[in-house]
Structure 1
Amino acid sequence: MIVRKIGILGGTFDPPHIGHLLIAQEVLEQCKLDEIWFMPANIPPHKKTDDVSSVNDRIKMVTKAIEGAERFVVSTVELERKGPSYTVDTLKDLKIKLPDVDFYFIIGADMIEQLHTWERIDELFEYVTFVGLQRPGYSQLSRYEGKMKLLTIPQVDISSSCIRERLKEGRSIRYLVPEAVRLFIEERELYGTSASVRNR
């Protein structure tokens, strides 16, 4: 049996930006994975529903962001689930459906020391290998330290919330997101985008 190795990069992707793409590429190469799945979240347990753009808009933005990258895939698994989405339930279902796949779940430095607070975290370790992204200023200490791969990748200080804030302020996001994503945001007038930021 040939075992495939697939990395999962979860999040709201509201919007996706070049930092997400950099993370995906680095993990793909360093862990020698076959694919990276970008997995937009449905209703993150820690967010209010009205804080998140529509499902269709987020899927379209991620699709545009990874266009041309053959080993990057959009997964709608979590979006097809009903109600609040927990990683453990998603990965349990995936392992049942795809027993010949080893899954690698990518988490940021801020999440490494908070893993013990995740829903049914000990069960989750049965379904997935965690890939933790090290970052200056964050502790990599975790009770699960020996159970995850820790990677160092180039740092790009960009966040989706920062991009949304820039747009509300009428500032350009050129080069912070893939050009196709920027044009889609302007076309749909997402995040309070106005004509004043067009073509910047």
Structure 2
Amino acid sequence: MRIFKTIFTLLLLALFTISCSSDDGTDGINGVDGQPGATGATGTANVIYSAWLTAPTAVAETVDGTSGMSTTLNVPQLTDDILSKGTVLVYVSFGSGTFSLPYTSTAGGFVNTITAVSTLKKIKLFRFRHDQGGTVNIPTSLTWRYILIPGGVAAATSKMAKVDYSKMSYEEVCAHFNIQQ
């Protein structure tokens, strides 16, 4: 019985292969092409990104028992929905390049990190020294950019793997969302 099914399947496959060819169908006359449409807006639906911003002068602050310097960016589009389901990316740019936060460097002779803490309508930029021996300022000459990616279908119900944008470089994120750098 199994061999009969195999032979029958092969016969059907041969029949379909023989009966279909590239010459089937009718030859029509090409229609006139329409006028080109207007260029669309840059970006991807629902993704929000800022221009390069300067932040207000930093002040000394203690966050979770860690002393550092902080300043805050006002982000009116940062909603509870984005905070709970989406992704917030923050970048810092200065003479040697563009870097994603958290960013760790040796500035002022000490290892320190600049991180971003997102809350409703605000992103706090916080810089702390790893040795807790004092603070390192956040210069107003640094520029900042945020990208807000609203959440979509929950990863457990999606057929596609969730993308971890925090593992992508600034350039890769901009290319992925068609954001002008």
- TM-score past 0.5 threshold: no
| TM-score normalized by the length of structure 2 | 0.23
| TM-score normalized by the length of structure 1 | 0.21
Q: Which has the higher strand share?
A: 2
